[in-house]
Each structure stands twice: as C-alpha cells, then as structure tokens.
Amino acid sequence: MVELKRTPLYEEHKGAKAKLIDFGGWEMPVQYAGVIEEHHAVRKNAGLFDTSHMGEIDVRGKDALAYVQMLITNDASILHDGKILYSPMCYPTGGIVDDLLVYRYDLEHFFIVVNASNTDKDYSWMLEQVGDFEVSVDNVSDQYVQLALQGPLAETILQRLTKVDLSKLVYYTFTHGEVDGVPCLISRTGYTGEDGFEIYPSPEFGRQLWQKILEVGATDGVQPIGLGARDTLRFEARLPLYGHELGREITPLEAGIGFFVKFNKVDFIGKDALQAQKEQGVPRKLVGLEMVGRGIARAHYPLQKDGKDIGFVTSGSYSPTLNKNIALGLIPTELAVQGEVIDVLIREKPVQAKIIPTLFYKRGK
C-alpha cells in the first residue's frame, strides 16, 4: 500500500478528532463536527479549511507571460501585479488538464495553484510545454501550507491578526503581509461561494496560524471544516470540481465555463478544437437538476429520457442550504431545457428530476 501524504496540519486534525480519509493520496479530514453543521457554519459565520494538499507551481522568466498565455484559455494579459485569474488549462483536443488560479507577481513571475490530485500531472504537462520559452517552471507545493478562511465573518476574524487593510483587498487579488507575525501570501479567493481568504504561510508556521485563527474567531463561531462540507459548499455555488464537472473528455464550453475561454487573445493550447466546437455547436451542456422523485442523484449515475441514456450526473448531493436534493449533470444541448423532467437512474430505478438553473446558491451582497 502506498503511504498517504499528510499536510503539516495532520496533528491538528487528529487532535480535533476529525474523520480522516484518503483523498487523492492525501490523508485529509472529511469532517469534524459533521458535514451539515460545518456547511452552515461557513454560510452563516466562518470556517477554516486545511487546503495544503493543493499544488503550487512557480513560473519565472522573461517569457513567463507568453508561456502562461499559451498554457491557459483565459487571458492573462489583463492581469496586473497582485491580480488573480481563474482559468482552465486544456489539451489540444479541448479537453481539460486542470483548472487553475493564476497569480501575477509581476510580468516575469506567475504563481499557479492547481488541484491536489493533479499536481504531478499538471507539473509534467507544464514542463513539456516549455519548449523555447525562456522560463523556469518549479513545483513549489512543499513550500506552502494553504489555509482557507471562508464565510461572511472571514474578514472580521482575519483582520484581528494582520495590519494589512483587508477591506482594500478586493476579490481575486492578493498581497503579502504578516498574519500573527508570520509572513504570508494572502489572497481574497475561495471555493465555497462565500467571501473569504486563502492564506499561504511556510509549512513550519501552519499549526500556529491554524490554532490562532480558530482562537481569535471562536466568539464568531469559526469552526474547522472538512472536505465533505468543502464539496457541498462548492457544489451549491456551481464551482466545478476536476474529475466531476471537468476532465480530459469534457471541454470548458460543455462544462459551463466557456466565459473563461478567450478566443480573441493570442494562441493557446486547445484553441482550434474549442473554436471548432463553438462553431459547430457545443454538443453537451451542464444542467442543474432538482429531484422530483425520492432519491439523491450521485456522481456518475446515468441520466435518461424516455428510457434512453442521455448523459450522467457529475455531482449530486443533499443541499444543506436549500434543504433539497440537487445535482449537476451533463446532457445533450438540445435536451437541456429548463423545466423539462428527465430521469436519474438510481440503483437501476428511474427517478424523476427537473432541469433547473445551475447556480443553486448565490450569497447576498
């Protein structure tokens, strides 16, 4: 058996009696107090996540921007220093290698955050694409702990620990500053549909910050949050997850993230295939589903219409915020009609579900 990797916060999770699971080769907390309680804590107050398993890749050099532009489908030329961009990274076929956050330090230095289980694959892929570009590409994942503090009270709580004026740190920007005296990269980003921050200290300060944030946020109801609630939170906010909504056989246009494919920028990997798909008509579409019959649609369950397979569920769950059973599914575009009823095959039995808008939850301003 392959030994599971652990983040520098492992002992904290164990001490908190978290339930630990194998997540893409990492021994990670799936829940502490319970998925539903943790989910509500983030929507209502704030929650702290250990996301240190995420990968970080540094791109440096004279051609850094040109290289990044070639790798990703979104347009990195619009970034300024301290700004962050979300983007798919595609194969020449238009299928997705991964989805990324691209942080611009300056024109010759980009910091790219990738999905934990894709880190090695992404790093190899990025190295293969270097060619004649004058860049160095380094997997620096081991050099960071990543903590996510998410929820409406995230700013209030984090502000107690830093002199950085967080009210000035707008969504999808980052800065460097001290949190509890520890130098960190602080970015206003997240994966929950709530306001919040992702904080990157060196590994040796991970436990100190974890403890400190829980301590100063205790009166505001901050709780440690496991991967279980991380998934239900991101799912309600229609934030795609690699291996579910995104994958080698799914294009960004199909996955509903076509907004992040910019055809009017310089050439990028996958452009021709995606352009062709756009011109010929995107064959599949990601739809929202609300169960009409009793049951929970789960990832990979078949979707049917009139007894014929038409697609599959990409993610599905009980939604704690809506108190309903909902799902995301990939079906032929011509069948993706709001209000239409299709079937989810649950343990061989067709159960009715209605097609609804995919954005299940949007936070109030």
d(CA 67, CA 122): 14
- If one asks whether residue 325 binds other proteins (CB under 8 A), the answer comes out as yes
What number of chain residues touch other proteins (CB under 8 A)?
A: 19
Q: How far is the CB of 351 from other proteins (least distance, A)?
A: 10
How many Cα neighbours within 13 Å face the side chain of 286? 24
- If one asks whether residue 164 binds other proteins (CB under 8 A), the answer comes out as no
Q: How many CB atoms lie within 10 A of CB 292?
A: 15
Q: How far is the CB of 53 from other proteins (least distance, A)?
A: 17
Q: Which is nearer to other proteins, 53 or 230 (CB)?
A: 230
Of the candidate spans 30-38, 70-78, 183-191, 254-262, the one that interacts with other proteins by CB under 8 A turns out to be 30-38
- If one asks whether residue 317 binds other proteins (CB under 8 A), the answer comes out as yes
Q: How far is the CB of 318 from other proteins (least distance, A)?
A: 4
Binding test (CB under 8 A) with other proteins, winner from 298, 300, 362, 363: 298
Binders of other proteins among 211-270, rule CB under 8 A? 228, 231-232
**Tokens representing residue 52 in the block:** 């240190």
CA-nearest of 122, 127, 109 to 60 is 109
Check if the beta carbon of residue 158 is closer than 8 Å to that of residue 166. yes
Of the candidate spans 7-15, 148-156, 195-203, 318-326, the one that interacts with other proteins by CB under 8 A turns out to be 318-326
Q: What is the largest CA-CA distance in the chain?
A: 62
- If one asks whether residue 294 binds other proteins (CB under 8 A), the answer comes out as yes
- If one asks whether residue 16 binds other proteins (CB under 8 A), the answer comes out as no
Q: How far is the CB of 311 from other proteins (least distance, A)?
A: 20
**Tokens representing residue 304 in the block:** 């049917």
**Tokens representing residue 61 in the block:** 């050099």
Q: Which is nearer to other proteins, 119 or 321 (CB)?
A: 321
Reported as type and span, the H/E element at residue 155 is: helix 154-159
Check if the beta carbon of residue 345 is closer than 8 Å to that of residue 304. yes
Q: How far is the CB of 323 from other proteins (least distance, A)?
A: 10
Q: How far is the CB of 303 from other proteins (least distance, A)?
A: 17
**Phi, psi of 348, rounded to the nearest 5 degrees:** 75, -5
Taking phi first (over 0 means left), then psi (-120 to 50 degrees means alpha), and beta for anything else, what does residue 278 get? alpha
Of the candidate spans 114-122, 257-265, 305-313, 314-322, the one that interacts with other proteins by CB under 8 A turns out to be 314-322
Q: Which is nearer to other proteins, 59 or 237 (CB)?
A: 237
Q: Which residues contact 80 (CB under 8 A, 6 or more apart)?
A: 104
Check if the beta carbon of residue 351 is closer than 8 Å to that of residue 295. yes
d(CA 160, CA 178): 11
Q: Which is nearer to other proteins, 34 or 357 (CB)?
A: 34
Q: Which is nearer to other proteins, 32 or 242 (CB)?
A: 32
Q: Indicate the SS3 state at residue 229.
A: helix
Of the candidate spans 42-50, 167-175, 197-205, 288-296, the one that interacts with other proteins by CB under 8 A turns out to be 288-296
Q: How far is the CB of 34 from other proteins (least distance, A)?
A: 5
- If one asks whether residue 23 binds other proteins (CB under 8 A), the answer comes out as no
Binding test (CB under 8 A) with other proteins, winner from 19, 121, 160, 278: 19
Report residue 228 CA to chain centroid gap. 14
d(CA 253, CA 245): 11
d(CA 75, CA 20): 38
- If one asks whether residue 296 binds other proteins (CB under 8 A), the answer comes out as yes
d(CA 98, CA 87): 9
Q: Which is nearer to other proteins, 298 or 362 (CB)?
A: 298
* Interacting residues toward other proteins by CB under 8 A: 19, 30-31, 34-37, 228, 231-232, 294-296, 298, 317-318, 320, 325, 347
